[in-house]
Amino acid sequence: MTSSRGKRISNPTGKVVKVVAARVGHRRSALTGRFIRTNASQNPRDLIADMHGVRGQPRVAGTSEWDRFEDRIVQELRRELHLQLRRAAVADIDIAAMGDPQDIAAAMVAVLPASHPFDEVIGPFYDTPGLTQWLQITRQALHQRIKAASVLGCPLDDGNLVYPAWQFLDNGATLPGLPGVLKALSAGTTDPWQIALWLSAANEDLGDLPPRDWLRDNRSHEAVLALARQTAGSWAQ
């Protein structure tokens, strides 16, 4: 476990999302496994409320399941941490060089996603400090990627940006063909949340796969790109 990925947080903007496909919505909820659909004009905030049954009140998994998950993490962490510290001791490394224990713990926990109902549709998300640390780039370099439409950053109400985690592969690269799709969609809207929701919505023309999953499976980029151009044209009308 490293400190590289940072917090994953989210916050919807509440803007109405327009899409081309008649059937939209997230293919399957990441937390509950339920199949989710909504109509094309539904507000993202209402979409979230419908998913959870009570507006603004997300469902939480059973405590016992989370307790077992926590115990597994602590067990694995204790083993890895013990080995790492023993190696440092044998190498006669100054213990002060290891850093502050509270800071180390905070950095380890930072890789876990924060809970938010919007995570089921578009998230989880990386925040800027976590993503720049993981990619080993500056904030300026990240903002240049956003400006070039090679990375999708979604604004929060406080002005900060968050970045859907699904757009990145395990090695930090973006999904194959994603930059071209982002550029095509950007021609029809200035709302990154609208783009993120379209990429996360099941699409009939892609065999009911969300475009992001189609790209992750390394299928034809041109199929998604053509749909993105069609969608952007519809948004711009």
Same domain, 94 and 180: no
CA distance 128 to 161: 7
Provide the pLDDT for residue 140.
Answer: 96
Name the one residue in this structure whose structure tokens are 């800027």.
Answer: 128
Which tokens in the block code for residue 189? 């809207």
Is 88 contained in some domain?
yes
Same domain, 102 and 153: no
Same domain, 70 and 161: no
Is 89 contained in some domain?
yes
- Residue 121, helix vs strand vs coil: coil
Name the one residue in this structure whose structure tokens are 């969300």.
Answer: 210
CA distance 192 to 153: 7
- For the chain, which ranges sit under pLDDT 50? 1-62
Q: Which of 21, 39, 14 is nearest to 154 (CA)?
A: 14
Is 126 contained in some domain?
yes
Q: 197 is in which domain, residue-wise?
A: 44-60+115-236
Give the sign of the dihedral formed by CA 202, CA 205, CA 211, CA 213.
Answer: positive
Provide the pLDDT for residue 207.
Answer: 92
Question: For the whole model, what pTM was predicted?
Answer: 0.56
- Residue 34, helix vs strand vs coil: coil
Same domain, 120 and 96: no
Q: Which of 206, 214, 126, 140 is nearest to 172 (CA)?
A: 126
Provide the pLDDT for residue 109.
Answer: 74
Q: Which of 73, 156, 68 is nearest to 118 (CA)?
A: 156
Same domain, 136 and 200: yes
Is 147 contained in some domain?
yes
Name the one residue in this structure whose structure tokens are 């240049």.
Answer: 144
Same domain, 178 and 161: yes
CA distance 59 to 167: 25
How does the average pLDDT of the chain come out, rounded?
A: 75
Provide the pLDDT for residue 220.
Answer: 86
CA distance 113 to 218: 26
Q: 115-154 pLDDT, tens per residue?
A: 555 667 788 889 898 899 899 999 999 999 999 999 999 9
Alpha carbon separation from 198 to 33, 141, 235 (Å, rounded): 20, 26, 11
Contact 203, 227 (CB under 8 A): yes
Structural domains of the chain, count: 2
CA distance 149 to 145: 6
CA distance 8 to 128: 9
